[in-house]
Amino acid sequence: MNRILACRELRARAPQTALSWFSSLNISRSVHGLPFATVEAEEISGSQPAEVLNLVQGKWKKTARWNTILDPLNGEPFIKVSEVDETGIQPFVESLSKCPKHGLHNPFKAPERYLMFGDISAKAAHMLSLPKVFDFFTRLIQRVAPKSYQQASGEVYVTRKFLENFAGDQVRFLARSFGVPGNHLGQQSHGFRWPYGPVAIVTPFNFPLEIPVLQLMGALYMGNKPILKVDSKVSIVMEQMMRLLHYCGLPIEDVEFINSDGKTMNKLLLEANTRMTLFTGSSRVAEKLALDLKGRVKLEDAGFDWKILGPDVQEEDYVAWVCDQDAYACSGQKCSAQSMLFIHENWSKTSLLSKMKDLAERRNLEDLTIGPVLTVTTETMLEHKNKLLQISGSKLLFGGEPLKNHSIPPIYGAIEPTAIYVPLEEILKGNNFDLVTREIFGPFQVVTDYRSDQLPLVLDAVERMHAHLTAAVVSNDPLFLQEVIGNSVNGTTYAGLRARTTGAPQNHWSLETQGELALGPQKQ
């Protein structure tokens, strides 16, 4: 009875507690600006460099080793990242080793933590809905991974909506179990979503907020203790988000945050014996991790993503706009960016390509609709262009020149949005195929066309590609859709007149969190 009364008292006090939290938030904001932030996005510069620290065993710490990050737009050393080397991983290893295999919580242990994370999600979502906080993260993303305000704010918006999805009771609903009748009286089979325990999350530079937050929260919801490593070029964004999450109630000991090079992180993963690692990045590193970790890894690696325009020509302006967005938004630095465009002969007779060219030429550095490429140099992209142009029948459709009048440092790429036409028959030749389907993580795409009787050749081309991440089939012809979708495979295929390769809607994440991102096996 005393326990029942205590629970009733807690429930009665809950609205008041929430009200007190929001009241204190408003007071803090009016007096201190952003109470969680340690930087001002607009003030980070060579004369006022920001510092990024590591979080281990509940404390933010510096190391003796600093990695200086250059401003992608002007080359100034504007961020100092405190990086851990191989001699400094032991505190992280010890912290992870203290987390048992059954996790920090599970359906039979500390179930109140499911509710705690529902509250944290609600508070964090509210924070990201505040214009000043929303703008802070948008601007911070722009500083380290230059993209247009619209693209950067979209990342913040999706993150906020994800957190809203898991407010209240939704975290424990994510842990929903199942029961199956047994063979005889008294026998039943029950399955539960169970944590792995100590886990690791490694994320890339191109989505410095959205990818790590969604993956981190999915791991935490199910009771895991994660160590998070974000590409050092952009880790300041997630460091500030970690501070926001702590402000919203996340226990500071629940997550380890490390800055290091790849070699150090690889050593840490092996010594800490993490029971699962979620890696988003290059296929080369992914293949190494799969071997080193003996399969205890979930991967999202490269994507040479294709789009096929079907025989039914409609909404030419809209399709041209989507093609431009898919290929060149974020300067093509999306794993789902449009790498190859197959145009049906009916579309070839329209002004589609000229409209794509006009849209591409509107992009500029002033509004960051085109910008620095952080993993591929200008020389590499121009060299690839020249090799493609040596293929018989190929031609430059637009772009193909370095950006002018800028101060982007030479360690990064700076090239106009580029499209190169290569005949379909030439693409399929053995000595050309690997070259044409090489992924260039920048504003670069290959375009080809086909006749109706050449659709089997198109399907052969997409079958031979090895990185089946996203694809789009732009058509409302049901028979055409059935033929292409039934004879291709991708992580995600968008179909219909509005099909695109990028811009995954927010509702994807609520589904995927129940699988990959939850970082938890089923327990029976």
Q: Which residues are catalytic?
A: 300, 335
CA distance 47 to 272: 39
459 in helix, strand or coil?
helix
Give the Å distances, CA to CA, from 179 to 102, 173, 493. Answer: 21, 15, 33
- The single-letter code of the amino acid at 66 is W
Residue 415: strand pairing partners? 402
Q: How many helices (H) and strands (E) does the chain have?
A: 19, 20
> How large is the C-alpha radius of gyration of the chain?
25
> Whose structure tokens read 């990050």?
69
Which helix H or strand E contains 8, and what residues bound it? helix 2-32
Q: Are 23 and 31 in contact (CB under 8 A)?
A: no
Strands (E), 204-310: 225-230, 256-258, 276-280, 297-300, 305-309
Largest CA distance in the chain: 84
Sheet with 50-52, strands from edge to edge, namely 50-52, 77-82, 66-70
DSSP 125-150: HHHHHSHHHHHHHHHHHHHHS---HH
Query: Angle at CA 205, nearest 5°, toward 201 and 209?
Result: 70
CA distance 17 to 3: 20
> Whose structure tokens read 């230059």?
146
DSSP 356-407: HHHHHHT--TTTTSS--BSSS-HHHHHHHHHHHHTSTT-EEEE--SB--S--
67 in helix, strand or coil?
strand
Residue 307: strand pairing partners? 341, 472
Measured in degrees and rounded to the nearest 5, phi and psi for residue 203 equal -125, 155
